[in-house]
Amino acid sequence: MIVMATLRFSYGTMGSGKSTLALQIHHNMSSRGVSGLLLTKLDRDGSQVTSRLGVSAPAIDVSLDLDLFELTKEHMPLQFLVCDETQFYSVEQCDQLARVVDELNVDVFAFAGAKSFDLKRLVLYLRICIFQSSKLGIIGIKF
């Protein structure tokens, strides 16, 4: 049986627990021996994902020129990516996440802050989730 990867997208307001959930997913998967990467951009404490609860973990800082598809290929075999602060990723990087799911069969958990969204960015994410990634699992909306 072949299991298809999924792209899961969650967004919410500041303080709603997005980074905490991202850290939980990364910890739970990694502690079971599932290989994956933790990524962030413009986190309040630099190259790590931090939670207001005081929990943190080192992460790959997503610079403007970082190709997320190539990064994933370089680290294969991977089974998941946890991507925090995705509202700051470029349009191209969002497209690369969809390719990671479709072409590399790697699960992507994407988290974004709702306050930083504008209509263009929301349309972009819906386009990625619905049209580009043929293996969409769940779009989790966190309030």
| Joined tokens for residue 11 | 């967004």
Give catalytic residue positions: 85
Q: How far is CA 138 from CA 10, 64, 73, 76, 78, in A?
A: 9, 27, 24, 24, 20
C-alpha 96/C-alpha 99 separation (Å) is: 5
C-alpha 72/C-alpha 63 separation (Å) is: 15
Which of 99, 90, 142 lies closest to 121 in space, CA to CA? 90
Torsional sign, CA 57, 58, 64, 67: negative
CA geometry: angle at 59 spanning 24 and 7, to 5°?
60
